[in-house]
Structure 1
Amino acid sequence: MSGNKTLYERLGGKEAISAVVDEFYDRMLADDELAPYFEDTDMQKQRAHQVQFISAVAGGPVDYTGADMREAHEHLELSHDDFAATATHLKDALEEFDVEENEIDEVLDAVASLEDEIVTA
């Protein structure tokens, strides 16, 4: 039983989220369709930013200080297919670390709620 633990706690906190984010970006950069979006990206900064973002949406003791979702992604002209592929990589990364299905669903639901802000193409 998860009791009153936040999703952040149930995911294992910052260290576990960092490991998932590393796996996620390894998968993204290995994807020929998505890797070009990261050509001019400082991946160390991007990974740290993503850990902060996931920690914040999961109820962790973190304030997300990044750009608004639309502003951060608008220049990329991402499609719904790009978004779906990204969500699949995130799901696979979470599964790689044996995250329970209900926690995976919570993370993916939080990400899915942002699709309209992220997809601009």
Structure 2
Amino acid sequence: MENNTSLYERLGGIKGIEAIADDIVELHMINPHIKARFLPLKDNPQHFSEVRKHLIHFLAAGSGGPEAYTGKDMTTAHKGMNISNGEYMDAIDDIMKALNKNNIDEQTQKDVLYIAYSLKASMLHV
């Protein structure tokens, strides 16, 4: 039997996505390979709050939720960052750890991974 539950619902709706987003950011802040990109956010609480909101809305809108994403497209948001493939993979690892921590099932994790990989080209070396 096919599961007709939306990805948004499988991620726990907005509350689940907020928890996952917070865990992703926390993991990025301690990941030795990418933390230098994220730690400066702690010095600017207003910018940190904006980035957090955009991440939550990006995940919510991208998974079928009613929230609107009003941030930049991925290419524009990552322009000039020169993200390496290794850094991208470290970020993906953090996302998967956050999904595991929040007890997201294997198929939903695969669905999120598929989406993350589909965005790769718009984020690397732009």
Contact 1:37 1:76 (8 Å CA) reproduced: no
- The answer for unaligned runs of 5 or more in structure 2 is 42-46
Equivalence for 2:48: 43
Measure how far apart 1:39 and its partner are: 4.2
For these two proteins, the number of residue pairs brought into alignment is 121
For the residue of structure 2 that corresponds to 1:5, the secondary structure is coil
Q: Does 1:31 align with 2:31?
A: yes
Amino acid at match of 1:24: I
In the other structure, the counterpart of 1:107 is 112
In the aligned structure 1, how far is the partner of 2:106 from the partner of 2:6?
15
Q: What SS does the corresponding residue of 2:80 show, helix, strand or coil?
A: helix
Gaps of 5+ in 1: none
Following TM superposition, the consecutive aligned residue runs of length 4 or more in structure 1 with deviations greater than 4 angstroms are none
Report % sequence identity. 29
CA drift at 1:2: 6.8
* Mapped pair 1:7 → 2:12: no
Q: What CA RMSD, in Å, does the superposition of the two structures yield over aligned residues?
A: 1.6
- Write out per-residue CA displacement over residues 18-41 of structure 1, whole angstroms, 9 at most, x where no aligned residue: 001111111100012211112443
